[in-house]
Amino acid sequence: MPLAPIGDLFRLQAEVNLDEGATLTLNVRGSKVTFTRTNMSCSTRPVALGTLANFEVLIDRTSIETFANDGAASMSKCFLPTESALTLRATGGSVTLKQLKLIRLKSAWNMAPNTR
């Protein structure tokens, strides 16, 4: 499912239910964050979750911050974008998205008036 965002900075919030064996993959400009029923990973060792109920992903131009189960587990990753896509894909079983919010964020850096 392409999310078709406009911009570079986002906050993605989701409430989910994953069947045993199912994987939900978030592709952030070529860098993948994967969720299963009991763990999450981002090109690193999986982080154990118990049972995944919700997650939040903060997406910056070159970094991803991921929090699961109301912050009980977290992970960070820096990356260099290799594409522009932001997509979700379910494989291996049933995934129910109870809620999905994609919120565009503004930069915390103020730009000088002549560089806008």
Range of the structural domain that residue 42 is part of: 10-99
Residue type, 116: R
Q: Is residue 50 part of a domain?
A: yes
Q: Is residue 105 part of a domain?
A: no
CATH number of residue 64's parent domain: 2.60.120.560
Q: Is residue 47 part of a domain?
A: yes
Confidence of residue 31 (pLDDT cuts 50, 70, 90): very high
Residue 7 has pLDDT above 50, yes or no: yes
Query: How far from chain centre, in Å, is Cα 4?
Result: 14
Pairing of strands 47-48, 54-59: unpaired
At residue 113, the 3 state secondary structure works out as helix
- How far apart are the C-alpha atoms of 40 and 35, rounded to whole Å? 4
Q: Is residue 113 part of a domain?
A: no
Query: How far from chain centre, in Å, is Cα 69?
Result: 13
What pLDDT sits at residue 48? Answer: 94
Confidence of residue 106 (pLDDT cuts 50, 70, 90): confident
pLDDT per position as a tens digit, 60-83? 999 999 999 999 999 999 999 999
From the list 24, 21, 31, 110, the residue with the least C-alpha distance to 63 is: 31
Q: Is residue 3 part of a domain?
A: no
Q: Is residue 36 part of a domain?
A: yes
Q: Is residue 111 part of a domain?
A: no
